[in-house]
């Protein structure tokens, strides 16, 4: 049988598989959910053409070197190369998700780029497999580059992982670095190489300012079209833009909304708090943290979730009924803790309790001050503090509140600290009308991480070790049933 005919028969047999993985010289080229192919030319050197929506490959086939029920291996040649290559087809008997295929293809591209970018180093590992034991996400590729006795931990954001925020990459990068350092039995680990999408490097240059000076971090932007990496100097990008909301603007908006919202607050004054959103020019009402009404240019809308109703004389009874439901179900003594009015916005509920009196978390804090939403812009992120206050001696204090485990808590708090510290050094708080009547210290802000004692993520201590000693953290563990009253049971 001629080689062309034998190749046609082998490929037809492979086409019945749910998916086929194609490798060249041991490296993955692609996974084809549908194998589209054509064999051109007769005789002993046919031309093989493979294609899909994302891939196109043409090789001249010299021989079939191995063929089993699940594998086909070919010796091929391509234009411009003197040495033959090895092309393999692996039959995969299970249906692979498009996400798995996308991750593997991204890893294959990254492996090629790393090999070219660091020719003097050996890529010993590259995987996007999820590692729950060590809290490592599958949305980021983890790798290891070695040159002699020196190793570099590598973590890369995988393009197309829309569910994974880019700025979370540093959290997983530090956890991967820690994992490499603990498992390395030979040589030294030089540091972390963080690979992020094009134009995202500035965000990480900002975060880098919060890291321990002894941590060697290299930041690279990946250009998938040019298939190269561009190194970003962490010291050259400066700070991310952020603007404090002038306190007088918040007060002016409150004055405008007072006549429309005062009667609603009076329905349950102990539970309803007013929150100003200067950017949208709205004033919101929250019942123990749950938004249920807002004022917008003289009109008031109410409702929980996506359904909103204009407040009119005819809809007043519906509003009063909603507040009554909130009093019954959004209460620490409520019998039904699965009720849709009890469960949502738990951190906002915790925030509402703390804001009433910040001394509930630390007697050294000044109960006269508790600000939220002090930033008008957070550089593409929300940039909203849970609570910004001060100690009795005038030292700024950031209270980061979480009701459940949150792996990014240390880095998020560090981001806030950097922004607040910058405005502190510029004297912006006094000029924008905050903390009237006291003299703020020049000492860097204190950061409180507040959560139920058993709800701190297990990686919190690991991540804190990599942050700058300039950022003074205090971990406060509160009682699990904090809705009945915030009480600190653990302090570190």
Q: What is the pLDDT of residue 74?
A: 94
Residue 370 lies in a domain: yes
Residue 89 sits in the same domain as residue 123: no
Q: What is the pLDDT of residue 32?
A: 79
Residue 368 sits in the same domain as residue 479: yes
What's the whole-number mean pLDDT along residues 238-262?
Answer: 87
pLDDT band with cut points at 50, 70 and 90 for residue 380: very low
Q: What is the pLDDT of residue 101?
A: 58
Question: pLDDT at residue 121 above 60?
Answer: yes
Last residue of a domain, one of 281, 302, 329: 329
Last residue of a domain, one of 272, 303, 329: 329
Q: What is the pLDDT of residue 93?
A: 66
Mean pLDDT rounded to a whole number for the chain? 89
Lowest pLDDT segment from 201-210, 436-445, 466-475: 201-210
Lowest pLDDT segment from 122-126, 361-365, 397-401: 122-126
Question: pLDDT at residue 186 above 70?
Answer: yes
Decide if 483 contacts 349 (C-beta within 8 A). yes
Q: What is the pLDDT of residue 383?
A: 42
Residue 83 sits in the same domain as residue 107: no
Residue 386 lies in a domain: yes
Question: pLDDT at residue 161 above 70?
Answer: no
Residue 433 lies in a domain: yes
Question: pLDDT at residue 381 above 50?
Answer: no
The CATH number for 54's domain is: 2.70.180.10
Strands 71-77 and 299-302: unpaired
* Length of the chain counted residue by residue: 492
pTM equals: 0.79
The CATH number for 146's domain is: 3.40.1350
Looking at per-residue pLDDT, the higher value among 168 and 34 belongs to: 168
Residue 122 sits in the same domain as residue 43: no
Question: pLDDT at residue 44 above 90?
Answer: no
pLDDT band with cut points at 50, 70 and 90 for residue 378: very low
Q: What is the pLDDT of residue 160?
A: 63
Question: pLDDT at residue 471 above 60?
Answer: yes
What's the whole-number mean pLDDT along residues 307-327?
Answer: 96
Q: What is the pLDDT of residue 97?
A: 57
Question: pLDDT at residue 203 above 60?
Answer: yes
Q: What is the pLDDT of residue 491?
A: 96
Residue 325 sits in the same domain as residue 370: no
Q: What is the pLDDT of residue 22?
A: 87
Lowest pLDDT segment from 90-94, 211-215, 295-299: 90-94
Taking residue 100's Cβ as centre, other Cβ atoms within 10 Å add up to: 15
Residue 431 sits in the same domain as residue 379: yes
Residue 316 sits in the same domain as residue 221: no
pLDDT band with cut points at 50, 70 and 90 for residue 95: low
Q: What is the pLDDT of residue 379?
A: 38
Question: pLDDT at residue 112 above 50?
Answer: yes
As a whole number of angstroms, the distance between CA 119 and CA 97 comes to 33
Residue 468 sits in the same domain as residue 424: yes
What's the whole-number mean pLDDT along residues 384-392?
Answer: 85
Last residue of a domain, one of 94, 120, 148: 94
Residue 238 lies in a domain: no
Looking at per-residue pLDDT, the higher value among 316 and 128 belongs to: 316
Lowest pLDDT segment from 219-223, 385-389, 443-447: 385-389
Q: What is the pLDDT of residue 100?
A: 62
Q: What is the pLDDT of residue 382?
A: 44
Residue 222 sits in the same domain as residue 113: yes
User: How many domains does one find in the chain?
Assistant: 4
Maximum mean pLDDT: which of 85-94, 162-171, 355-364: 355-364
Full domain range(s) for residue 369: 346-491
Question: pLDDT at residue 181 above 90?
Answer: yes
């Amino acid at each position: 049988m001629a080689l062309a005919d034998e190749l046609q028969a082998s490929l037809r047999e492979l086409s019945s598989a749910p998916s086929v993985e194609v490798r060249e010289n041991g490296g993955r080229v692609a996974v084809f959910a549908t194998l589209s192919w054509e064999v051109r030319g007769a005789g002993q050197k046919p031309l093989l053409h493979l294609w899909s929506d994302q891939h196109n490959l043409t090789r001249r086939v010299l021989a079939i070197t191995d063929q089993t029920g699940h594998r086909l291996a070919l010796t091929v040649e391509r234009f411009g190369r003197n040495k033959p290559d090895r092309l393999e087809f692996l039959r995969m008997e299970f249906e692979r998700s498009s996400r798995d295929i996308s991750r593997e293809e991204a890893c294959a591209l990254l492996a090629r780029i790393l090999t070219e970018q660091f020719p003097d180093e050996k890529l010993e590992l590259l995987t996007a497999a999820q590692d729950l034991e060590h809290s490592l996400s599958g949305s980021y590729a983890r790798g290891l580059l070695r040159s002699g006795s020196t190793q570099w931990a590598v973590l890369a954001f995988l393009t197309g992982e829309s569910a994974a925020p880019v700025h979370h990459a540093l959290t997983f990068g530090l956890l991967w670095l820690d994992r490499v350092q603990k498992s390395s039995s030979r040589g030294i680990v030089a540091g972390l190489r963080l690979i992020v999408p094009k134009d995202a490097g500035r965000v990480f240059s900002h975060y880098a300012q919060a890291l321990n000076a002894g941590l060697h971090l290299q930041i690279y932007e990946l250009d998938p079209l040019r298939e190269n990496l561009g190194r970003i100097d962490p010291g050259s990008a400066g700070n991310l833009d952020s603007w404090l909301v002038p306190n007088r603007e918040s007060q002016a908006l409150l004055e405008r909304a007072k006549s429309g919202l005062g009667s609603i607050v009076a329905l349950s004054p102990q539970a309803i708090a007013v929150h100003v959103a200067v950017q949208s020019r709205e004033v919101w009402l929250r019942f123990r943290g749950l938004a249920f009404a807002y004022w917008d240019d003289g009109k008031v809308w109410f409702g929980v979730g996506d359904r909103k109703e204009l407040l009119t004389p005819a809809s007043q009874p519906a509003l009063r009924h909603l507040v009554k439901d909130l009093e019954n179900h959004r209460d620490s003594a409520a019998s039904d803790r699965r009720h849709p009015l009890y469960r949502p916005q738990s951190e906002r509920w915790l925030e509402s309790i703390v804001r009433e009196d910040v001394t509930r978390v630390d007697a050294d804090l000044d109960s006269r001050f508790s600000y939220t939403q002090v930033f008008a812009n957070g550089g593409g992120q929300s940039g909203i503090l849970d609570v910004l206050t001060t100690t009795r001696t005038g030292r700024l204090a950031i209270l980061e509140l979480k009701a459940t485990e949150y792996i990014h808590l240390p880095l998020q708090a560090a981001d806030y600290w950097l922004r607040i510290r910058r405005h502190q050094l510029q004297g912006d708080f006094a000029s924008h009308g905050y903390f009237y009547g006291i003299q703020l210290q020049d000492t860097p802000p204190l950061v409180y991480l507040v959560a139920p004692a058993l709800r701190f993520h297990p990686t919190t201590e690991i991540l804190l070790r990599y942050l700058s000693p300039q950022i003074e953290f205090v971990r406060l563990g509160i009682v699990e049933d904090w809705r009945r009253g915030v009480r600190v049971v653990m302090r570190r």
